[in-house]
Amino acid sequence: MSKARDIADSASIINYLDGLTTGLADSPTFTGTVTAAALAVDTDVLLVDDTNNRVGINVASPAYELDIDGNIKVSQGLIFGDSTGYLYEGATDQINFRIGADGPYVTFKDVGSSVAEFGNASGALALKTGASERMRIDSAGSVYIGSTTDSGTGYHRLSADGFVRHKRAGDVVAVFDRGTSDGDIVLFRKDGETVGNIGVGSVPSTDKCLTIGKSDSGILFDNVGNRISPWDMNTNAVLDNYTDLGYSGGRFKNLYLSGGVYLGGTTSANLLDDYEEGTFTATYYGDTSAGTTTYTAQAGFYTKIGNRVSFQLQIGVSSATGTGAIRIGGLPFTLSSATSSSPVFSVASSGFTFSGQLAAGGIRATATLTLLGLASDAGETQIEVDSSVSYLRVSGVYFVD
């Protein structure tokens, strides 16, 4: 056992092994070969290649400084290279394991330049590309992409508690693209139950319409037909004569329309295209010569529903210089030009020299009335301008084109 332990070459190994064999009562059994350039134990269990400075375990011809065919167990630690530590293949493609200011991290290099890095960053797991951090998982389990906190002009936050935020400056934030068939694109749920969805539907004008709703209470937006339609989200089909707009306890306030409303049907006869209320100023003049009129009262009110105009007017005259038949002008709308349209209106008056019954008649295609006298023995006659009228009231209904 006094043999020197500093083995300089293969001959020393032989002498050392011989000393162990002759100096021990129970000598160990050595199976293998020793040559001038190599040591082989059990052929390839352990092989030391002195020529190429290589060691093989379970490898007959080691190709590397340490060539192992099998598993390695390291109980304490493993250091590659110097204290910076790295694992690499080739001179430029590397995986570096290092300890930085915030703790351990791993760097992936390509041609000597860092392409990715992940490791500890003030208690978070950070992932970098180049020298810039791209993503991190913080100590609460939340994921940030494009930012290290919940702030910035463009980033994603996926919180461990289920909260999600996506932010982008000046452009589209998200795209959801359903292919091939129509149907749901996004579902919204409460406690596992679907409360609504956004999808795509088809109508005769186009096959790519946005749909929003739940079950049979949906809406389809038709950008080609320029309309919205009630939609069944279950069957992905249009609904006809089914959906209410509001109810007795949930009314809309004002409805602004530039067109009309079809009430009770879908033909032109069901179209209500106008409703209007207002005032107008009635005038009193002569047919032959308009003259000048001085008024003590001059007022008018109307309601127009579709092509039907209801009105009432009042005029008081203290003097009038016009001649010919009385004309009452200033009606809010022109009377219909149809030959069958010759409306007669009721009149109440005081101060006229005519003592019979008065009525007013509409003049077609104008906004003018004429005053008619009804005498049983003379029939219908137009009343001439009267210079002093205490009051003249006319009311009735007429139609417009």
Tens of pLDDT along 135-144? 999 989 999 9
The answer to whether residue 158 is domain-embedded is: no
Q: How far apart are CA 101 and CA 79, in angstroms?
A: 19
Residues 282 and 379 in one domain: yes
Indicate whether 60 and 108 sit together in one domain: no
pLDDT digits (tens, 9 = 90+) for 67-121: 999 888 766 555 555 555 555 555 567 677 776 777 777 877 776 576 788 888 8
This prediction has a pTM of 0.63
CB-based contact 229:220 (threshold 8 Å): yes
Assign 33 a pLDDT band (cuts: 50, 70, 90): low
Total tally of structural domains belonging to the chain: 4
C-alpha 42/C-alpha 14 separation (Å) is: 16
CA distance 359 to 383: 10
Q: pLDDT per residue over 37-53, tens digit each?
A: 567 777 668 888 888 89
Same-domain pairing of 248 and 326: no
Residue 152 lies in a domain: no
pLDDT at 7: 38
Residues 246, 139 within the same domain = no
Give the H/E segment covering residue 19. helix 10-23
CB 45 within 8 A of CB 36: no
**Same domain, yes or no: 288 and 379:** yes
- Note down the domain range covering 127: 86-143
Structural domain contains residue 356: yes
Q: Strands, E, within 32-102: which ranges?
A: 32-34, 38-41, 46-49, 54-57, 66-68, 86-89, 93-100
Residue 392 lies in a domain: yes
Residue 23: per-residue pLDDT: 42
Nearest to 154 by CA among 131, 137, 136, 171: 171
Verify that 319 and 392 share a domain, yes or no: yes
Q: Is residue 363 part of a domain?
A: yes
Stretch 254-271: mean pLDDT: 92
